[in-house]
Chains A and B, each alone.
Chain A
Amino acid sequence: MSTESMTLPMSDAAPRPLVERLHEWVTTVDHKRLGILYILYALVFLMVSGVEATIMRIQLIRPNNHFVSPQVFNRMFTMHGTTMIFFVAMTVLLGFANYLVPLMIGARDMAYPRLNAFSFWITAFAGLLLYFSFIGGDGLYGAGNAPDVGWFAYAPLTSLTFSRGHSTDFWIVSLLLSGFGSVGTAINIIATVLCMRCRGMTLGKMPLFAWLNLTMAGLLILAVSPLTAAQVMLLIDRYLGGHFFDTQAGGSAVIWMHFFWIFGHPEVYVLVIPAFAFASEIIPVFSRKAIFGYPVMVAATVCIGFISMSVWAHHMFTVGMGPAGNTFFVLSTMAIAVPTGIKIFNWLATIWGGEIHFETPMLFCLAFLFQFLIAGLTGVMLSVAPFDWQLSASYFVVAHFHYVIVGGILFTLFGAFYYWFPKMSGRMYNEKLGKVHFWLFLIGFHLTFDFMHIPGMLGMPRRIYTYEPGRGWDIWNLIVTVGVFFQAAGVLVFAGNLLWSCFRGRLAGNDPWNAWTLEWSTASPPPAYNFAVLPEVKSRRPLWDLKHPEDPDWHYE
């Protein structure tokens, strides 16, 4: 296998000029540096997109508010959704996968280091292109700048008639490019996991993190490619005068919905499976127990991957698909709760009887377990077609999917940041500030998203720019907006903590958590070649075997 060591100069050599160091980062093909680039890039967009969400919430804080114009409001929700999904969630999760998968499977780099760099830079370029629309989207028409068609861009809003100028074109091309980047990385992850494992690491002995990212990568290939196809069709419609989504010429607006959600729903699982991966690594370490039911966890994950490709049209119950279609998608959507439930019970069983350490990563994972359960329950409620007819496109739906994405994915992601920060930077974060972040964010999250369900049930539709007083929505919107400021404060504490700890934190050493997977066996931060000698493993917890030669895991597995 091609595991030749990289010839990158060590980063802790004598200080060199800034330009030279920057040049090294730009031209790097090292999976760890690319992983960090992905993560930093996502953090920048997290801030940008968070500001967009804050603008929307300030606009909705009281009835008949005029903080921004309706046009700006439309741009804000479009950019917020698009950025958060494609340039925050996807990039940060691919960044963690990039950084951790080779380290966890005992490899020296990804299978295709240059493809890796290409994927990152094309994704980075795609994000810049999306935001360039604020400057260049006007075109010659003076017809508004940033995309304002919503993140799922239903036809005919995207047709030339209704979207003059180039804002929608920027949206299309940006998503097309980011799709190429993420499919490239997905192929890379699959090739790495299947072909680069160290001696002895059979598929059944891989860390769950590697298994879950393998599933995610497969799902990503099958989910993002249909979006690429749909975007090409939209480009054909807009630039070559095609009629795919042109109802005037017999085209169909509904088929765009199908194509978009064939991407859109598996995409949720592309995002949540890496979150499961974080939880599956963090919870055992802070419960001081091996993961409960490893084979079942793997099976449930793969099962989720398959089922998630057959549930897309539950986003479309209000379109009128007829009883057969509705019934199928109701049942398949409910079915996906089964493997997900299995995972929750396995995490609970891992914690059960363990010696629980309440450090910041574990706090975030515990909150994740509770919140993801609730998010799943509102999901099952919405999967019932008649219930969905009542509440579709209301704030109840907005609350539901933010409960999944913020309460589920973002919470484990923060946990992952604290858990692997010592490995990436070589220094410990400040535990006290970490806890401040956790509690601020927890309070903010519940203020915002618990109370957001209520105006939804009272009939408040999503995407409205403002509303009349006296409909019973006022107080709830006020509470929701107040929560946003707690969340923003939490994120600022988080950013400050990481920045400060990067330079001033105490040194972490190789293995600050007394953990069991291979990334903790090498230096923090790891050298460019990862492992001086390629490791050989006999069980799922190689570092446990090393620390307890008298009672190694492979006696029991």
Chain B
Amino acid sequence: MSASTVTIPEDAIRWELPSRGRVAMYGLISAESAIFTIFVVAYLFYMGKSLTGPRPEDVLHAPVLLSICLLSSSLTIQFAVAALSTGKVRAFSLWWLLTIVLGVVFLGGTAREWRHLIYGEGLTLQRNLFGTTYYSLVGLHAFHVTVGLLALSAVSLFTFRGQVSQQHAERVEVLSMYWHFVDVVWVVVFTVVYVVGR
């Protein structure tokens, strides 16, 4: 700017305000973090307080592969956003689809795990405190993954109809912030449920 020969008044250059999309997404993420904090605190508080079995160390197996899927989806969505901001819509749509696939794989894995716990181990939400806190915390996270997938799919739909272009890069980036948040929450949930709690 300063190299230009036209003299622009200094104030006119400097009056820049933060993007409202990003600010609002940070607000939403703070609210969601507070909700997750309460559920995590409840999980930690009730660890080992169940009056009956099954206990976590008997039935839980760390879903390492699924976690790798979910965490790498943060990477793919980042590639997608980067592609769109340089105008490569086709690359964007592929990375974006891959993100959705990774998310769906994660959800499917959770469903299989729950099926095993319910039918194989007899652990339901009503069975004991572990069941109550486990299904609530993991379920709350899975619910957020689902909401994220619905939003991602909407963007995919718009992309196939040719309605997404470089000018939407910022909006897509704001949505990707939510997806990153869901991934970070998984790191916390994984640590609490499968590492500390087992």
A residues apposed to B, CB below 8 Å: 1-2, 111-112, 183, 186-188, 190-192, 194-197, 199-200, 218, 221-222, 224-226, 228-230, 232-233, 236-237, 240-244, 249-252, 255, 259, 262
Contacts and interface: CB of A to CB of B under 8 A. Distances in A.
B51 A226 contact: no
B85 interface: no
- Output the residue of A188, A197, A224, A226 with the most chain B CB within 10 A: A226
23 contacts: A1-B20, A112-B24, A190-B23, A191-B23, A195-B17, A195-B19, A196-B17, A196-B20, A200-B15, A218-B30, A221-B27, A221-B34, A226-B37, A229-B37, A236-B132, A236-B136, A244-B42, A249-B128, A250-B51, A251-B46, A251-B132, A255-B42, A259-B38
B39 interface: yes
A240 B125 CA distance: 7
A232 B17 CA distance: 37
A389 to B, nearest CB: 25
Given A186-B27, A221-B34, A236-B136, A252 B17 contact: no
A158 to B, nearest CB: 16
B24 A191 contact: yes
Contact of A233 (B33, B37, B128, B136): B136
B18 interface: yes
Contacts of B121: none
B181 to A, nearest CB: 14
Contacts of A197: 17
Nearest to B139: A236
Interface string B16-48: 011110011001101111111111001001100
Nearest to A255: B45
Q: Which 6 A-B pairs have the closest CB atoms?
A: A225-B34, A187-B27, A229-B38, A241-B126, A195-B20, A242-B132
A201 to B, nearest CB: 9
B49 interface: yes
A196 B11 CA distance: 17
B50 interface: yes
A264 B4 CA distance: 56
B152 interface: no
A225 B37 CA distance: 10
A221 B42 CA distance: 20
B142 interface: no
Contacts of A237: 132
Given A187-B31, A221-B31, A229-B39, A195 B45 contact: no
Interface in B167-189: none
A97 B38 CA distance: 28
A221 B30 contact: yes
Interface residues of B, number: 34
Given A200-B15, A226-B38, A242 B136 contact: yes
Contacts of B17: 1, 194-197
Given A187-B28, A200-B15, A230 B38 contact: yes
Interface of B: 11, 15, 17-20, 23-24, 27-28, 30-39, 42, 45-46, 49-51, 125-126, 128-129, 132-133, 136, 140
A350 to B, nearest CB: 30
Nearest to B24: A191
A338 B17 CA distance: 33
A200 B9 CA distance: 13
Given A194-B17, A243-B129, A225 B27 contact: no
A542 to B, nearest CB: 15
Contacts of B126: 240-243
Given A186-B27, A199-B11, A244-B42, 16 more contacts: A111-B24, A112-B20, A187-B31, A194-B20, A195-B17, A225-B32, A225-B38, A226-B34, A228-B35, A236-B125, A236-B132, A241-B126, A242-B136, A243-B132, A251-B46, A259-B38
Contact of B23 (A194, A200, A252): A194
A222 B30 contact: yes
Contact of B15 (A183, A186, A199, A262): A199
B18 A250 contact: no
A445 to B, nearest CB: 35
A277 B36 CA distance: 31
Contacts of B31: 183, 187, 221-222, 224-225
A250 B23 contact: no
B34 A195 contact: no
B25 to A, nearest CB: 9
Contacts of B33: 225
Contact of B49 (A183, A199, A240, A250): A250
A200 B14 CA distance: 10
A183 B30 CA distance: 10
A2 B21 CA distance: 11
A241 B124 CA distance: 10
A104 B94 CA distance: 46
Contacts of A225: 30-35, 38
B167 to A, nearest CB: 14
A268 B147 CA distance: 32
Contacts of A226: 34-35, 37-38
B1 to A, nearest CB: 18
A380 B183 CA distance: 43
A2 B23 CA distance: 15
A251 B27 contact: no
B24 A243 contact: no
Contacts of B50: 250
A307 B99 CA distance: 41
Contacts of B20: 1-2, 111-112, 191-192, 194-196
Contacts of B32: 225
Nearest to A227: B38
Contacts of A2: 20
Nearest to B17: A195
A250 B129 contact: yes
A188 B31 CA distance: 13
Contacts of B30: 218, 221-222, 225
A229 B34 CA distance: 8
A218 B11 CA distance: 29
A249 B34 contact: no
A199 B15 CA distance: 6
- Output the residue of A229, A241, A242 with the most chain B CB within 10 A: A229
